[in-house]
């Protein structure tokens, strides 16, 4: 390990059952306690504790200097966050919904992402941009989109998406300690639905390492965020029909754990990629290209993408837009019969 890599590990303080949302608050509290450079800010994160409650209680505990409301401007939240990071702080900015991030796009892709490179390493921007993303809450276009691909396409940004409470805590802590800007996208559909044991105290999950969520031998499913439980359910159904499905939760889209992905696909010979963003040019397109380039000789069937449609995110017909268990199962079958 180099001196610059974040130390990973879990303390022996026991565990507690938490929702994914509670695990995020726990991670923020843990980091604010151990590093006074960590600042939490954004719209409504102070007294209200955020529209979903991710920062609940932090202002009371750490004061208005460490957890504060910003004016209503995403460009300002990210732009001032960059200034704070340049000056040596560890800002954790909340963008209320990923759908509202576009006024800050210039600051993210032209400034935060390029600061280290363009200054020859003289200036860096260690900040975390937290934002709930994705469908499943009947939020229409502007509270549902899954636009991770824009950020994955920008050199200089790391992109992290957890799917379990324990990973949400461990990955968020690793993101805050990272020396580069991290887009930390939270599957809002799982905020209160995902519950699980979360280590208390220190718990760091390294960026760039995927998790094998279910072992299998016939088909590999690559997925992340809110699609992980959908894929696990589909894998369970497929198992009853005699299909052994391996489910890989990518956890970090940038940098991608290619080794785990390729090892799995080489073993199974079949690959289904599941993501809820519009299909065209989504992150799944990149995954498909990597699998095609690197292990075509192992493939027994076509690489199949199960994704959102190339439509704006719908309100009434959300249930048809979002990939569900049935569409994943149909995708699995396509790798056998085409």
Partner 1 sequence: MSNDLLTIIDQDGKTQKGKDPGLPKDELQRLYRLMVATRLLDERGLAMQRQGRIGFYLQSTGQEASHLGAAYALADRDWLFPAYRQPGILLLRDISIDKIVSEWLGNSGDTSKGRQMPVHYSFREANFVSISSPIGTQLTHAAGAGMAARIRGDDTVFMTFCGDGGTSSNDFHTGLNFAGVTKAPVVFVCENNGWAISVPQCKQTASESMAIKAQAYGMPGVRVDGNDILAVYRVCKEAVDRARRGDGPTLVETVTYRMASHSSSDDAARYRDATEYEAWKKKDPIARFQLYLKQRKLWDETFEAEVVETAKAKLAEGVKLAEARANLGPESLFDDVFMNLTPQLKAQRQELAELMSKGGVGADVGHFPL
Q: Which stretch binds partner 1 (CB under 8 A): 20-28, 45-53, 118-126, 194-202?
A: 118-126
- Please tell me whether residue 106 binds partner 1 under the rule CB under 8 A: yes
- Please tell me whether residue 39 binds partner 1 under the rule CB under 8 A: yes
List phi, psi (to 5°) of 195. Answer: -130, 145
Of the candidates 7, 48, 118, 138, which one interacts with partner 1 according to CB under 8 A?
118
- Please tell me whether residue 2 binds partner 1 under the rule CB under 8 A: yes
Of 143, 193, 203, 319, catalytic: 143
- Number of Cα atoms under 13 Å in the Cβ half of residue 287: 34
CB of residue 83 vs partner 1: minimum separation in angstroms? Answer: 2
Q: Which stretch binds partner 1 (CB under 8 A): 19-27, 67-75, 194-202, 311-319?
A: 67-75
CB of residue 176 vs partner 1: minimum separation in angstroms? Answer: 15
Non-local CB neighbours of 107 within 8 Å, separated by 6+ positions: 75, 78, 79, 82
Q: What is the DSSP string of 199-236?
A: ESS-EE--TT--EEEE--SSEEEEE-TTHHHHHHHHHH
203 a catalytic residue:
no
3-state SS assignment for residue 119: coil
List phi, psi (to 5°) of 19. Answer: -80, 170
- Please tell me whether residue 242 binds partner 1 under the rule CB under 8 A: no
Of the candidates 15, 16, 44, 76, which one interacts with partner 1 according to CB under 8 A?
76
| Longest CA span, the chain | 60
- Please tell me whether residue 86 binds partner 1 under the rule CB under 8 A: yes
- Please tell me whether residue 88 binds partner 1 under the rule CB under 8 A: yes
- Please tell me whether residue 262 binds partner 1 under the rule CB under 8 A: no
| C-alpha–C-alpha distance, residues 308 and 243, integer Å | 24
Q: Which of 151, 168, 158 is nearest to 128 (CA)?
A: 158
DSSP state of 108: I
- Please tell me whether residue 174 binds partner 1 under the rule CB under 8 A: no
Chain residues binding partner 1 by CB under 8 A are 2, 4-5, 39, 65-66, 70-71, 73, 75-76, 79-89, 91, 103, 106-107, 110-111, 114-124, 155-156, 158, 179-180, 208, 254-256, 258-259
Give catalytic residues, as residue numbers.
143
């Amino acid at each position: 390990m180099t001196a610059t890599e974040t130390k990973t590990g879990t303390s022996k303080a026991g565990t507690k059952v938490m929702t994914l949302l509670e695990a995020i608050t726990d991670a923020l509290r843990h980091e604010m306690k151990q590093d006074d450079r960590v600042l939490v800010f954004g719209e409504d994160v102070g007294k209200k504790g955020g529209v979903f409650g991710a920062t609940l209680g932090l202002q009371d505990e750490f004061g208005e200097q460490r957890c504060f409301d910003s004016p209503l401007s995403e460009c300002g939240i990210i732009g001032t966050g960059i200034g704070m990071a340049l000056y040596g702080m560890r800002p954790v900015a909340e963008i209320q919904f990923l759908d509202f991030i576009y006024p800050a796009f210039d600051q993210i892709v032209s400034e935060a992402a390029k600061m280290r490179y363009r200054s020859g390493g003289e200036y860096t921007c260690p900040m975390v941009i937290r934002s709930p993303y994705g469908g499943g809450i009947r939020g229409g276009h502007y509270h549902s989109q899954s636009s991770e691909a824009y950020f994955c396409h920008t050199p200089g940004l790391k992109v992290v998406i957890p799917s379990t409470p324990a990973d949400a805590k461990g990955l968020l802590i690793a993101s805050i300690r990272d020396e580069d800007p991290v887009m930390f996208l939270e599957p809002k559909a799982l905020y209160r639905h995902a519950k699980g044991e979360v280590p208390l105290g220190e718990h760091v999950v390294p960026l760039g390492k995927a998790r094998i969520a279910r072992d299998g031998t016939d088909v590999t499913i690559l997925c992340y965020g809110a699609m992980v439980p959908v894929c696990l359910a589909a894998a369970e159904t497929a198992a009853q029909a005699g299909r052994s499905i391996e489910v890989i939760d990518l956890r970090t889209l940038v940098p991608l754990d290619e080794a785990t992905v390729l090892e799995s696909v080489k073993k199974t010979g079949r690959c289904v990629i599941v993501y809820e963003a519009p299909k065209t040019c989504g992150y799944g397109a990149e995954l498909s290209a990597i699998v095609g380039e690197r292990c075509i000789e192992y493939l027994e069937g076509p690489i199949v993408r199960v994704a959102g449609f190339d439509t704006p995110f719908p309100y009434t017909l959300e249930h048809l837009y979002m990939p569900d268990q049935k569409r994943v199962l149909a995708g699995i079958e396509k790798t056998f019969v085409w």
